[in-house]
Amino acid sequence: MKKLSEMKKESKGVITSVNGDPRFISRITSIGLTPGCPVTVIKNEKNRPLLVYSRDTMIALNRSECSLIEVEEGKGA
């Protein structure tokens, strides 16, 4: 299990849990990042927002928020 923010560029995984306040969870769910959802990390550079690809969508996420999302690496498409 890894935090999304710790995933390397071009690595793939499946989201296992989403944490944080209800507002954040609601927002992240509505953009499609739910447990069981495969994600691909497109870009992960220091001090820059992460770029992840999931459900046909390129999503930019703040680093601090990404540490609230846990991922099982290597699984998924």
Q: Please report, as ranges, the residues that interact with other proteins according to CB under 8 A.
A: 18, 22-32, 34-37, 40, 42-43, 45-49, 51, 53-62, 64-65
State in angstroms the smallest separation of the CB of 74 from other proteins.
Answer: 17
Q: Report how far residue 56's alpha carbon sits from residue 63's, in angstroms, rounded to the nearest whole number.
A: 21
State in angstroms the smallest separation of the CB of 54 from other proteins.
Answer: 8
State in angstroms the smallest separation of the CB of 24 from other proteins.
Answer: 7
Q: Is the Cβ of residue 6 or residue 40 nearer to other proteins in the bound state?
A: 40
SS3 per-residue string spanning 23-77: HHHHHHHHCCCCCCCEEEEEECCCCCCEEEEECCEEEEECHHHHCCEEEEECCCC
Q: Is the Cβ of residue 59 or residue 73 nearer to other proteins in the bound state?
A: 59
